[in-house]
Amino acid sequence: MGGMSDIDDDAGADARSPEEQADLDREARFRKLKAWYRTDRDASSAWRADARIDFDMVAGHQWASEDEAALREQGRPPITFNRVLPIIKAVAGAEVNARLDIQYLPREVGDAALNELLTEGSRYLADEAEAEDEESDAFVDTAICGMGWVEMRLDYETNPDGDYVEDRVNPLEMIWDASATKRNLVDARRLFRAKSMDMAEARGLFPDADPEDLDAAWAEDRDGEQHHQIQPDQKRSDRPGDVSDGTSRVTIVEATWWERKRVAIVTDPTTGESQEMEPAKADVLERRAAALGMQVDIRRITKRVYRRAFLGNTILKETPSPAGDRFAYACITGDRDQNRNSWFGIVRPMRDPQRFANKWLSQTLDMLNRQAKGGLLMEKTAVPDQAAFEASYGKPGAISWVTDGTLQSSRMKEKPLPVLPAGHYQLMEFAIGSIRDASGVNLELLGQKQNDQAGVLEYQRKQAAMTILASLFDSLRRARKHIGRVRLYMIQTFLSDGRLVRIMGEGVMRIVPMLRDKTAGDYDVVIDDAPSSPNQQQVVWQTFTSVLPIIKDMITPQVLLEVLPYSPFPDSFVAKMRELLAQPAQPSPEQQQHQQIAVQTALAKIQDMTAGANLKNAKAGREAGLTHHDTLDGFAKVAAMAAPPQAPAQAGFAA
C-alpha cells in the first residue's frame, strides 16, 4: 500500500502543469515567510513595548497610565518637567554639526579618473533626495529607542526614469531576524516591514491583486495581541466598513531575505572573461567541450541571492532585491541588551531619574498645597468682633482689637509655616542631576554651563561628552557605508542612463551625463567628514587662520580654491570667489607692454640664433662635401693603382 501511494504521488507530481507547480511553490514560500515573520515578531515584542515608552518619554508623556489615574483621583497634578527632550536634541545637533560624507575610491588604476564623477554624482542624488535629513532623523530614533532605519529605493511615480529616494522608516514597523546579534544587524538573514495604509493606497500599489488579498491581518501585533486566528472569510470587528471602502486600513508586509544558491562560473578561454550560469547548463557545456577535445574552466560556488516579496493574504509580488546583493534597508543600532538580544538608546537609563523627578515635584507641590500658608489659630472669645478682626487683620497699617488677656494667655497663635521633610530637596536635585548623568551628556554639550571658564576647557569637555557617545556615532558611520554601497549599485545599474548631474571640480561647476561606461568598475566606500559640516568648517578655518601669517607668501589661487569651502562666508560669496579665482588673471597694460617687449626680444634672439645656426650648417655641409670628394678621389687613385696595365689603343679605332 505504501509503495502504491508513493507511485501515485509521483504520478500526480508528474501530471502537474508548470503553472500548478509554480502556484504550489508560491504557497510554500508564503507559509515559510509567514512563519519567519511570526517568529521574529514575537522575539522583538518586548523591545517594541519598550520603544513605545521611550518615544513617550521624549514627547513628554512620562507618567504611567495607572500612576496618572491615581494622581487625578487624589486631586494631585501629574507634573512633567521634560528634561529628556533637550538631551536628545543636543545629541541630534551634535550629529548635524558633524555630518559625514560618502566618497568612492577606485580599486583599479584605470578608474582613478572616474571616482570624482561617482562621488559628486552620489552627492547630487543625495542632495536631491534630502538624504542627510532622513539619515539624521533615523539617528535620532537610534538615540531614543536603540534602532533607526533608512530605506533606499527608486521612485517611478514622479519620474519615469526613476528618482533616487531615501526615507526614514518608523522603527516600530520593522521586524528583523531574531538570530542576528551583530551591530547594525549585518548578520541578519531576513528583514520585514509591516506597514499600515489605506485600502486605496494598497490598490494603487498592487492594481492587479484581489482586494480580498490586500490585508495581512495575520501580521498585526496590536498591543501584544497577535491576530493568529483571523481567516480570509471572517469579518474584522476592529475595522468598520467593507474592504471596498477606500478609507479602511490594511496591512502590507514587505519581506526581504537572502538564500544560498549554487552557480557555476565559466571562464571563456578566448577572452578570459567569466560568466555566471546555472550548474545544469554548465554541465552540458562541459560535456560538449569534452566531446570536441576542449577544456573549459568551470568553478561551482555557493552565493547569496537576495529576494523581496510583498505579502498580504498571499504573495502579492516577488522580485529580486532592488539593492542587488544587499538589503535595501540600513539599520543603525544603539547599545546592546545582551540577555534580551535587543538594542536600546540613551532614553532607557534616563527613565527612572526622570520619573522620580516628576514624582518628587508632584509630591512637593501636594505637600505645599496641604500645609498652611499663614493664618491664625485662636479661640472664639479671643476677639470681641470676629468679622471686624478678619477684615482688619490683612490690611496694612490697620489695628486689630482683641479681648483683654488674649495675648498673655496664648489664646491666639500663628499657624506654622510649611516644612518639608529633611533631605527632600536633596533627593529631588539628585534625581534631576541623574537624568543628565545617566545619558552621558554634560552641561557643556547642552550649552547650559554658566560658570566662567576658558574656551579650551569647554571644548575639551564637549569632546569628552562626544567620547561617551562615540559608539552611537560609529554605528551611524557603519550604516552610511551600507547606504553608500547600495547607492553605488543603484547608480551603476539603474541611474547611469545619461541623466545630467551637477559636479564641482577645480572650482568650476560642471554639468555632466552619467553614462554606464563612465560609472562601471569596483570602488571602495569611504566615510569622511563632509565639507559642509559646521564643526569641520570651524576646525579647518581656525587652523588655517592660525598658520596664515606663516604661509602667507606661499598662498596661491589653487590653495584658496581648496580653502574657501571651509570659510564662514555665505555659499553664494564662496561660489563667486571660486569662479573668479578659477579664471586666468588679466594682466595690466604695463605688464602687457613688458610682455610684448620680452616677446619681441625673445623673437630677435631666436632669429639671430637661427641665422647663425644656418650659417654653421652651410659651412659644415660644404666642408663635409669637400671631405667626401677627397675620399672618392683617393679611393679612385687606389683602385687605379691596383688595376693591371693595358695595351695602347689602335689609331683610328675608338678607345
Q: pLDDT tens-digit profile of 137-182?
A: 999 999 999 999 999 999 998 888 899 999 999 999 999 999 999 9
The Cα-based distances of 565 to 532, 533, 541, 542, 554 in angstroms read 8, 10, 9, 13, 19
pLDDT of residue 242: 52
Cell numbers placing 599:
616677446
Global pTM reads 0.73
Contact between 251 and 230 (Cβ < 8 Å): no
pLDDT of residue 117: 81
Contact between 208 and 317 (Cβ < 8 Å): no
Contact between 162 and 211 (Cβ < 8 Å): no
> What is the rounded CA–CA span in Å between residue 581 and residue 583?
5
Question: Within 13 Å of residue 431, how many CA atoms lie on the same side as its CB?
Answer: 18
Runs of H (alpha helix) within 329-407:
351-370, 386-393
pLDDT of residue 35: 95
> What is the rounded CA–CA span in Å between residue 43 and residue 34?
14
* DSSP structure string for 228-277: -S--TTS--TTS-S-TT-TTSEEEEEEEEEEEEEEEEEEE-TTT--EEEE
388: phi then psi, degrees, rounded to nearest 5:
-65, -35
pLDDT in tens, 400-456: 788 887 777 778 887 777 677 777 778 878 888 888 888 888 776 776 665 666 666
Contact between 181 and 92 (Cβ < 8 Å): no
Give the residues of the chain that fall short of pLDDT 70: 1-16, 107-114, 221-247, 371-374, 418, 444, 447-460, 504-509, 517-518, 521, 529-539, 541, 561, 568-576, 578-595, 598-600, 602-655
